[in-house]
Amino acid sequence: MSTKATAILLISCPDQKGLVAAIADFLYQHNANILHADQHQDAELGLFLMRVEWDLAGFDMDLLDFDAAFRPIAERFQMHWRLAHSGHRPRMAIFVSRYDHCLADLLYRYQAGELNCDIPIILSNHLDTQWLAEAYRIPFQHIAIHKDAKAEAEATQLAILRHHRVDFIVLARYMQVLSPNFIRHYPNRIINIHHSFLPAFHGAKPYHRAYERGVKLIGATSHYVTEVLDDGPIIEQDVARISHRDDLDDLIRRGADLEKIVLSRAVRWHIENRVLLYANKTVVFD
């Protein structure tokens, strides 16, 4: 991973003339060396979306002063925007149940330096993956989920997340549906992996239903969690071709490989501030 200190600006606003010129000129006036710039226009909605990243070496403004300096341009073009620093390591909590393949992949990538974040806590409603957390020396906490006391369990989870100052949550095959109240505490900051190519086969046991349907492709989808089950903005998807020779166990095994890859990509892109949300969709910038 690059060790160069950079700033990242993410922008969405009504599409209009002069946007790119105004942004580039503002950065030029403050001696910014732009390293990456990518943009997208949604013609149907009349929206402009942009990600621009620049080297902080030589940049003549403290990022604490950026808000006040950039505000006139933002107000002129009716921008929604946010600024990020590449050196910031967000704090990621992982929720998991019994399946360990996504958790194992994330922890390996974290240890290898592929994910520029901190993992202060792993939460699970089962004890099956405690050994894996201990192997990577990451705190693990078991919170049982009982059907008649789910609100109490979620209140405990939220207290733990606040204690650890968690910025976002990854559901690494966490087989529980989060309540709307829980989701409201982390809007657009909960990333899920669903073992299907959404919107096909949402909900429980998608591999079973795909097998019964005789599909020729299976997939995995990583998305932000919303109050509507498996309907949040999609970050990443991938597929694998199967045939009539594959049985249900084959689908589950091959799907697990897809799940790991798709989830890790989505998490990395979120950490690197490459994802912009709008209209229940995402733009993922290169």
Are residues 203 and 134 part of one domain?
yes
Q: Count the domains in the chain.
A: 2
Report whether 143 contacts 123 (CB < 8 A). yes
Q: Token pair of 93, please?
A: 């909590």
Q: Token pair of 187, please?
A: 């809007």
* Residue 232 DSSP class: S
Q: Is residue 191 one of the residues assigned to a domain?
A: yes
- pLDDT tens per residue across span 43-99: 999 999 999 999 999 999 999 999 999 999 999 999 999 999 999 999 999 999 999
Any idea what the CATH number is for the domain that residue 73 is in?
3.30.70.260
Are residues 120 and 50 part of one domain?
no
Are residues 247 and 169 part of one domain?
yes
Note if the bond before 72 is cis, omega within 30 degrees: no
Q: Is the pLDDT of residue 219 over 90?
A: no
Report whether 170 contacts 106 (CB < 8 A). yes
Residue tagged active-site, from 230, 231, 246, 257: 230
Binned at pLDDT 50, 70 and 90, residue 23 comes out as: very high
- pLDDT tens per residue across span 91-125: 999 999 999 999 999 999 999 999 999 999 999 99
As a whole number, mean pLDDT of residues 153-179 equals: 97
Are residues 26 and 12 part of one domain?
yes
* Domain final position from 48, 63, 85: 85
Q: Token pair of 48, please?
A: 């402009």
Q: Is residue 153 one of the residues assigned to a domain?
A: yes
Q: Is the pLDDT of residue 207 over 90?
A: no
As a whole number, mean pLDDT of residues 145-152 equals: 93
Pick the closest to residue 262 from 207, 220, 213, 204 (CA basis): 220
Are residues 95 and 143 part of one domain?
yes
Q: Is residue 237 one of the residues assigned to a domain?
A: yes
Q: Is residue 27 one of the residues assigned to a domain?
A: yes
Are residues 175 and 158 part of one domain?
yes
Q: Is residue 1 one of the residues assigned to a domain?
A: no
As a whole number, mean pLDDT of residues 210-214 equals: 82
pLDDT averaged over every residue in the chain: 93
* Domain final position from 44, 66, 85: 85
Q: Is residue 55 one of the residues assigned to a domain?
A: yes
What is the distance between the alpha carbons of residues 63 and 83, in angstroms, rounded to a whole number?
Answer: 9
Are residues 199 and 118 part of one domain?
yes
Q: Is residue 122 one of the residues assigned to a domain?
A: yes
Q: Token pair of 16, please?
A: 């209009």
* 3-state DSSP assignment of residue 253: helix
Distance from chain centroid for Cα 224? 6
Report whether 235 contacts 171 (CB < 8 A). no
Q: Is residue 123 one of the residues assigned to a domain?
A: yes
128 is catalytic: no
Pick the closest to residue 79 from 156, 153, 14 (CA basis): 14
- pLDDT tens per residue across span 246-263: 888 888 888 899 999 999
Tell me how far apart the terminal alpha carbons of the chain are, to the nearest angstrom.
Answer: 15
What is the distance between the alpha carbons of residues 107 and 114, in angstroms, rounded to a whole number?
Answer: 10
E strands, 126-216, are 140-142, 168-171, 190-194
Domain span at residue 204 reads 91-284
What is the reported pLDDT for 198?
64
What is the reported pLDDT for 119?
98
The fraction of the chain above a pLDDT of 70, given in percent, is: 97
What is the reported pLDDT for 143?
97
Are residues 197 and 127 part of one domain?
yes
Are residues 53 and 37 part of one domain?
yes
Any idea what the CATH number is for the domain that residue 122 is in?
3.40.50.170
Binned at pLDDT 50, 70 and 90, residue 200 comes out as: low
Are residues 113 and 50 part of one domain?
no
As a whole number, mean pLDDT of residues 129-150 equals: 96
* 44 CB burial (10 A radius; 0-12, 13-18, 19+): exposed
What is the reported pLDDT for 201?
67
Are residues 80 and 103 part of one domain?
no
Q: Residues 40, 7, 171, 282: what is their CA dihedral angle, to the nearest 10 degrees?
A: -10
* 3-state DSSP assignment of residue 96: strand
pTM attached to this predicted model = 0.92
Are residues 229 and 159 part of one domain?
yes
* Domain final position from 85, 105, 128: 85
Secondary-structure breakdown of the chain: helix, strand, coil percentages, each rounded to the nearest 5: 35, 30, 35
| Cβ neighbours, 10 Å, residue 115 | 24
